[in-house]
Amino acid sequence: MKQRSSIIGSVEALPHRVASHLSREIEGGDIIPGARLPTESQLADKFGVSRNVVREAIAQLRADGMIEARQGVGAFVMAPEQRTAIRIDREALKDQRNMEQLFELRSILETESATLAAARCASDDLAAIKAALDRMGGEERWEDGSIEADLLFHRAIARATGNSYIYTFISFVCEQIRQSIHYARLTNPLHDLVEVNVAEHVRIYDALAAHDPQAAGEAMRRHIDGAASRVGVELTAINRGK
């Protein structure tokens, strides 16, 4: 069995450790703006971890605005002046109240995103959303690739609004909720989780395909409520101010 590199230490929070090490290399100038990061395989070998760990670390750097992922090309380091100023402390999300607030933000943004997308989406937008949905199905596929497809589904809806600011904010929030998806997988029966989650996304897609803004917004709201409840957050209580 491959020995993990001493670069990252213990197995606890490996993605965070890898992300922190890469962040230091970027901030220190070892990896310059505009440079492409090594491949997942190369980084996995460098740090002595799995590619899944590397993938999560890259997602963290992307959420922090330090890198930009270009589909089919790779991940590139952003110049400091191009980086987003938004930050959410992932350690803070271990606190239940902070997680509640993140889901509340998500509900506000994504419900309106789905409403707008239903009114504005073109055939190529629907094709992208459906392609992501098709990648989510099947218990045997509920691994990191399926989680990525889940997040891609939400980003594709945001893109279909035609509003680049909505897309930017929802893309950012999507990266923050990865850990909540992982937590849901650990705390819910896998078969039930997959069945319910996919059904919720199908209802959203059907409303979008019907160009029904009200139904799309309601389907998204119900999905966010369900996603929150699967990690112990009750948005209804929040909305009532309790």
Beta bridge pairs of residue 75: 69
CATH architecture under which domain 14-82 falls: Orthogonal Bundle (1.10)
Distance CA 124, CA 207 (A): 16
Long-range contacts, 122-131 (Cβ 8 Å, 24+): 122/160, 125/156, 125/159, 125/160, 126/160, 126/205, 126/208, 126/209, 128/156, 128/159, 128/160, 129/153, 129/156, 129/157, 129/160, 129/205, 129/208, 130/205
| Full pLDDT tens readout for the chain, 242 residues | 344 444 444 444 677 789 889 989 988 889 999 999 999 999 999 999 988 888 878 877 887 778 887 777 888 998 876 676 566 666 655 677 888 888 999 999 999 999 999 999 999 999 999 999 998 875 445 555 677 788 889 999 999 999 988 988 888 888 777 766 766 666 666 667 778 889 999 999 999 999 999 999 999 999 999 988 888 888 865 554 44
Looking at domain 92-239, which CATH architecture does it have? Up-down Bundle (1.20)
Domain with CATH 1.20.120.530 in the chain: 92-239
**Where in the chain are all domains bearing CATH 1.10.10.10?**
14-82
Whether pTM exceeds 0.85: no
Q: What does R_g of the chain's alpha carbons equal in angstroms?
A: 18
